[in-house]
Chain A
Amino acid sequence: MIKIVHAADLYRRPVLAASMFRDRALQFKDRLQWGAIETDDMGLEFDQYDELNPIYVIIEDENGQHACSARLLPTTGRTMLREHFSDLTGGVDISSPLIWEVTRLCLAPKEADGISPRRAPAALFWAGCDLALRSGVEFFVAVYFSHMQRVWKMGGFAPEVLGTRDTPDGEICCGLWEITPAFRDMLAERSGLAGRNALQYFPSEARFPAAPRFPADVTVSRLATAA
């Protein structure tokens, strides 16, 4: 299952949350050895942007543990792009309710929930697109190391590169994806998730299957009469 989880709801899935912050430490600190990554006394990687109420897109494995994830924040607030990488966008401080930043893309080396490691990036972006389209968002931006460009290309959804720069950890890029229903559907195909009920908004779809409604007797359709 791919879950869309708001930071404020992580406490309801403590195993999923802890395993995500643990896997992030494993990927970014142990495996990739990024200089700026810090972990806490429990070995979890949790940074200042996790405190800003982000939304997480998480692929959950059969045991309810984290496999892959990405973090989303609106560019109207604080972003890594603005605070650390604005030179990658020609000095433009990207800020609009229509643009979200994707950070902390964390990938598992093994299959989870029937999603192979090769297809996981497309699966995460597919779920992110669903969320963005529901919210009226038109673009994702992300800063990533250049080797990821190969991953995007393999997945068939390489972004436009706004700029690149060398860092002690390697070359980094800023990429831009336009989000459209066609893009989402393409990602569904690429990730092998088309037609599969693989996405869950948590907790609204988990906890309130029959949503309470306003009484039917107040329903007077203005849209219907207008049309």
Chain B
Amino acid sequence: MASKVEKLFEALPGPGSIEDLGLLIDTIRDVFGVLHVVYLAVSLGQSYSVASSPGAGKLRGVDGSWWRHTGKLGAGTYSTEWGERYAEADYARIDPVIEGAIRSFMPIDWKNLDWSTAARKRFLREAIECGIGNQGYTIPIRGPNGQFAVFVINENCNDDQWARFIEEHASQLLVVAHFFHQKVIEVERLFGPTVQPKLSSRETDVLKLIAIGKSRAQVAHELQISENTLRVYLDSARHKLSALNITHAATIAVTKGIITL
């Protein structure tokens, strides 16, 4: 069975603008088969400016929407109504999911959060009215200069089904969450033109050998490293190249002239 990340890679819309990011988030939702997927950049750090226009309001993808309000950027399959309501009411202030994500780097199951205050109960009621599901999983993402974003998967199902879903997909969701954040930075050119990722010679070596079709076992043997060590080197390269998987990483590396075949 192909992993969800592989399926996403095949269906990747190739984002070039913020409208495409709305489409990308739709694709992620469909591939993982969940109710909602949402990305919210709570803080983009110091001295950023966004490339797209308009400067405020919402832009729609196909189903997914993209919104911006007082320095916060978001994309998601939540209804536009909820996105706007969230921004207007500045719910990021009281949202226990945001609070939890700020405190730690560990992904959060919404069940483990404190929903007991009056303001949070009201917030929750409104969320449900706007079609939010009963289960949630939030991945905090941090980057240089105080960048802080969250990536959310939301679904309607019982606790056992949800636990199984998370157990099966936790690693893939981590990869996709960071990938999406990197796409936002890239598409919006938040920190100027994208800089060439810096890969060590070891990373370019392993990527090149994989790209020319050698198996992992062959590469590990050739470089006299274990397959787990190889996995770690490849995964570091994948992350730095903002790629979803190793095939994707190799393609990006060739396109950018980081490796030549």
Contact = CB atoms under 8 A, between A and B. Distances in A.
Interface string B80-101: 0000000000000000000000
B213 to A, nearest CB: 22
Contacts of B107: 134-136
Interface residues of B, number: 54
Interface stretch (A28-36, A63-71, A86-94, A110-118): A86-94
A224 interface: yes
A211 to B, nearest CB: 5
Interface in B126-182: 128, 133-134, 142, 155-158, 161-162, 165-167, 169-175, 177-178
B104 A178 contact: no
Interface string A117-144: 0000000000000010111111101000
Contacts of B106: 6, 55, 131, 134-135
A201 B104 CA distance: 13
Contact of B236 (A7, A53, A93): A93
B210 to A, nearest CB: 15
Nearest to A204: B112
Contacts of B157: 219, 221-224
A160 B124 contact: no
B229 A98 contact: no
Q: What range describes how many residues of A lie at the interface? A: 35 or more
Interface stretch (B14-22, B49-57, B64-72, B195-203): B195-203
A84 B113 CA distance: 36
Nearest to B114: A208
Contacts of A141: 232
A131 B156 CA distance: 25
A90 B128 CA distance: 51
B128 A214 contact: yes
Contact of A212 (B35, B115, B133, B175): B115
Nearest to A141: B232
A8 B236 CA distance: 28
A138 B229 CA distance: 12
A222 B232 contact: no
B116 interface: yes
Contacts of B33: 222-223, 226
B194 interface: no
A208 B103 CA distance: 17
Interface string A193-208: 0000000010011011
A215 interface: yes
Interface of B: 33-35, 102-107, 111-116, 124, 128, 133-134, 142, 155-158, 161-162, 165-167, 169-175, 177-178, 198, 200-203, 226, 228-229, 231-233, 235-236, 238-240
